[in-house]
Structure 1
Amino acid sequence: MADKIKFLLALLLVVAGVVGFYLLAEQPMILRVLSVLAGVSAGAAVAWFTEPGQRFYVFGGEAVTETKKVVWPSRKETLQTTGIVFAFVLVMAIMLWVTDKSLEWVLYDLVLGWKKL
């Protein structure tokens, strides 16, 4: 129950920051943005002290650890893969253009008899 109350408080702090943005309409933009950032920061700080907040922090740490284990492609592999993708896109574009022009010729010239001038 305490976690739900903390989450409600965190949500109210974020809403207060957004409401502050609109209430400070006559103030410089930096103060309005700082109002939102303060509300989000305060809400995150309150949510941090909940059990789900702590689990989210652990999950984030595990995600970073897993990201470090990824074998990223080399520059050469990246350029080769990108080249293959571009070549495939070019071939598909040409095939679709040929198909489109063929259907246009069949429908307009042969079937309907609408010869182009």
Structure 2
Amino acid sequence: MAAENNATRDIPLWIVAILILAGGIVGYGYLEGQVLDLVRIVVLLAAAGLALFVASRTSKGGEFFSYVREVDVERRKVVWPTRQETLQTTLIVLVITVIVGIILFAMDTLFGWIVRRLIGLGGEL
């Protein structure tokens, strides 16, 4: 019942957010050729920011921004590899890829030679 009540109270906020964003988009198109492109972009970004702010005041918007904050906290906990570690692992991957490629080429050549011998198409490599 409480969730249903929140959803009902959020409907006007969602409508306002959508109208603000639509107004920014319409304004961006309407101002074409009348003002600098930079001004049009600033107006569009301001409308988008205001629409996000209004949407964040809804229950779902609040949950979303809370989730984004939690994701940022977890992102800060990540230990990123150093430049040297990244270079070393990249080189290892490249070397292993070349080695596996050579092994697969050799196996393909050998099996092709065996199959050609079995079906009688010659024995030369």
**What's 1:16 paired with?**
23
Partners of 2:63 and 2:27 in 1: CA distance: 30
Partners of 1:56 and 1:32 in 2: CA distance: 28
Partners of 1:11 and 1:55 in 2: CA distance: 18
Aligned residues: 102
**What's 2:72 paired with?**
64
Which moves more between the two structures, 89-98 or 28-37?
A: 89-98
SS of the equivalent of 2:21 reads helix
Which moves more between the two structures, 8-17 or 67-76?
A: 67-76
Give the drift of 1:94: 6.7
Partners of 2:27 and 2:103 in 1: CA distance: 56
Partners of 1:92 and 1:11 in 2: CA distance: 54
Any stretches of 5+ residues in structure 2 without a counterpart? 1-7
Q: TM-score, normalised by structure 2?
A: 0.65
Q: Bigger radius of gyration, 1 or 2?
A: 2
Amino acid aligned to 1:19: V
Q: Alpha carbon RMSD of aligned pairs, Å?
A: 2.6
Give the drift of 1:7: 1.4
Any stretches of 5+ residues in structure 1 without a counterpart? 112-117
Q: TM-score, normalised by structure 1?
A: 0.69
Which moves more between the two structures, 76-85 or 39-48?
A: 76-85
Partners of 1:97 and 1:15 in 2: CA distance: 58
Stretches (4+) displaced over 6 A: 92-99
Amino acid aligned to 2:64: F
Partners of 2:39 and 2:9 in 1: CA distance: 33
Amino acid aligned to 2:30: L
Q: How does 1:1-117 map to 2 (within 5 A)?
A: 1-26=8-33, 27-90=35-98
